[in-house]
Structure 1
């Protein structure tokens, strides 16, 4: 499989918070500094959430919803270009469902 693999625990070991002002590991920081640049340079991006023990809904919404609101990606594009790895199938399903939910425009 080609593309970029982002090991989330190495770039954002404690994901939480929506905005940079909420501290290191915010959704805004991860989206703008890590994920969006990867999407600009690669057709496929794998997000490896292995070893991450919990992350807030605000983090997930800001990352994935922000890709739509701020960077102009569509739900269909993101579902085709993002691959998710997690420690368990349940965790992976939760993250994938969050991506689907947060990328739908009202």
Structure 2
């Protein structure tokens, strides 16, 4: 798959917190400074979560739900444009399910 590869551990070694005020590695920082610009520049983006153990639900919701709420990305668009890599199938499934759950139509 062509496009941008984001090694999450390099940009956000300990992904936690929802907002910038929560500290370095927040979902807001990751979404605004890394992920959204990548989505603007590329048709596909690979998120490599390798080496990260335990990503908080608030981080995942703010990252993916925020892409929908604040940037207008649809669930279908994100599912088709984002590829997820993780250390285990369980972790990968958790992240993919988070994308689906946090971008549902309200």
For 1:53-72, list aligned pairs within 5 A.
53-72=53-72
The alignment's TM-score, normalised by the length of structure 1, stands at: 0.98
The yes-or-no answer on 1:93 pairing with 2:100 is: no
The corresponding residue for 1:47 is 47
Q: Deviations over 1:37-82 (max 9, x none)?
A: 0000000000000000111100000000000000000000000000
CA RMSD in angstroms, aligned pairs only: 0.5
Unpaired stretches in structure 1, ≥5 consecutive residues: none
* Structure-2-length-normalised TM-score: 0.98
Name stretches of at least 5 consecutive residues in structure 2 with no aligned partner. Answer: none
| Separation in structure 1 between the aligned mates of residue 39 and residue 33 of structure 2, nearest angstrom | 11
Misfit runs of 4+, over 6 Å: none
Equivalent residue number for residue 5 of structure 2: 5
